[in-house]
Structure 1
Amino acid sequence: MAYSLSLQAAINHQIVALQTLRVLQEQRDRDLGQPTLEDVSVATEQAGPPEQPEKGEGPAEEKPGEEGNAVPQPWDPSQCSLARAVVRTVLARVVQTTAQLIQVEQTILAPLHQELNFPVYLKDSIEFRNICCHMAQHGEEPIFDQDLNAAYKCLKTIIKKLIHTMLSLPADVRALSCMALRQVLQNHLDL
């Protein structure tokens, strides 16, 4: 009985994570500063070669006393259009993979679970949900990027553990579930 409840609890945690991820995705897409992937590719194609300075122009001369006064600014990935496009792509992939995983769990694994009561690692689904909630609370780029990376890895772990569990089932029942989970994992890794 505990096993059958654990799969449904894991799915419920993943559904909460998916809802949170979709809200984050919508918020980021609404942000006017977010370029679309098409904008980035068009801008790259239209940029052309860098302009050469005209004859007689050289680098700006340093004024006396300014040497050493300039404080180097750290590179800020939130200012880079390409970095934002990559984050959008990874976020979209995590949303898509989570939705696919939930669908496989509900349609294929749930009936098998009722029949065979295989173990489910509830802790990973709770961690995934918590990471997604943390992403929603802290929208700053460095923290968001770290959380997104952690969510990506956690989702991969969930899928791999489910595949490992399915491999321990009798051959006649594991084929479809393993194939479906491997397809989700392949889509997840195909970044």
Structure 2
Amino acid sequence: MARSVPLCVSLNHQLVALQTLQLLHHQQQGEDARPCHPHYKLDQASSLLSTGMSGPALHDMGQGLEAARSSRVQEQEEGRRAASKTSEEEQEEECGSQALSNPGEPGPKDSRQLDPARPRTLTQIAVHSMLSRIVDSASQLVRVEQNLLLPLFQEHPFPIHLKDSIEFRNICRHMALQLEGQRFDRDLHAAHQCLRNIIKKLMHSLAVFPSDLYAIAQASLRQILQNLPEI
């Protein structure tokens, strides 16, 4: 319904962030950079959120979701082009230097992916562990929002802090352009804290409702939060 729009918009930003995180997770594992298939997609959200809608509400929601899809595709394409261009330029410079100093030897591997044959450092292990935890928690949050919070929100709207979901999406998008190094680590910590803030604010919004259904939703959010301890 029309009044569920704030939660729908917030959910869409989180879905974009989740897809970006899952792609990063593949790259951290040293796998080929290929399209990621998250558990929850915008198409699935569109089908679920449009249930029971009709007339202007459905039209407005459809336009909103379509705009979100178009924006996501454009942002991802621009990010891929920028990342590809940077990687190609770096590779050309490295290969050129390598050829001048050691002709006949192959150039270095793309540093954007981990070499499976090279042991990981403790820092890399810690970063990968945190990224895995954030991916799992973001996926669980989306599931709770779609299955529990959306029906409750349609009956009794509660405060939605859209700014946090937008920030979470932007942080994840920025992480995708870094992939490693101190700036990536800072973004990873920021994404961790931002996800915690989203969950805590949702729990606070639900606390004013005494219904058992709201209590179940709060418990589900609390369990997700336990997987994201303070750092």
TM-score of the pair, normalised by structure 2: 0.60
Larger Rg: 1
1:82 correspondence with 2:122 = yes
8 A Cα contact 2:13 2:165, kept in partner: yes
- CA-based RMSD of the aligned residues comes to 2.1
Provide the residue aligned with 1:12 in structure 2: 12
Describe the SS at the equivalent of 1:165.
helix
Provide the residue aligned with 1:29 in structure 2: 29
Taking the aligned partners of 1:98 and 1:175, their CA distance within structure 2 comes to 20
Taking the aligned partners of 1:33 and 1:158, their CA distance within structure 2 comes to 35
Distance 1:2 1:121, change over 3 A: farther
Distance 1:35 1:180, change over 3 A: farther
Distance 1:34 1:150, change over 3 A: farther
Taking the aligned partners of 2:3 and 2:155, their CA distance within structure 1 comes to 11
Give a deviation string over 1:8-46, Cα, whole Å, max 9, x none.
Answer: 11111000000000111111111343689xx66xxxxxx
1:118 correspondence with 2:118 = no
Taking the aligned partners of 1:15 and 1:33, their CA distance within structure 2 comes to 29
Taking the aligned partners of 2:22 and 2:16, their CA distance within structure 1 comes to 10
Q: How many residues are treated as equivalent by the alignment? A: 149
8 A Cα contact 2:27 2:114, kept in partner: no
8 A Cα contact 1:13 1:125, kept in partner: yes
Equivalence map 1:98-109=2 (5 Å):
98-109=138-149
Describe the SS at the equivalent of 1:117.
coil
- Within the candidate set 174, 183, 187, 2:214 is matched to 174
Taking the aligned partners of 1:155 and 1:103, their CA distance within structure 2 comes to 14
User: What is the CA distance between 1:127 and its match in structure 2?
Assistant: 0.3
Taking the aligned partners of 1:161 and 1:120, their CA distance within structure 2 comes to 8
Which moves more between the two structures, 153-162 or 139-148? 139-148
Equivalence map 1:38-187=2 (5 Å):
81-187=121-227
Moved over 4 A (4+): none
Q: Identity over aligned residues, as a percent?
A: 48
Describe the SS at the equivalent of 1:33.
coil
Taking the aligned partners of 1:150 and 1:156, their CA distance within structure 2 comes to 10
Taking the aligned partners of 2:5 and 2:117, their CA distance within structure 1 comes to 43
Identify the structure with bigger relative contact order (alpha carbons < 8 Å, sequence gap 6+). Answer: 1
User: What is the CA distance between 1:181 and its match in structure 2?
Assistant: 0.6
Taking the aligned partners of 1:34 and 1:17, their CA distance within structure 2 comes to 26
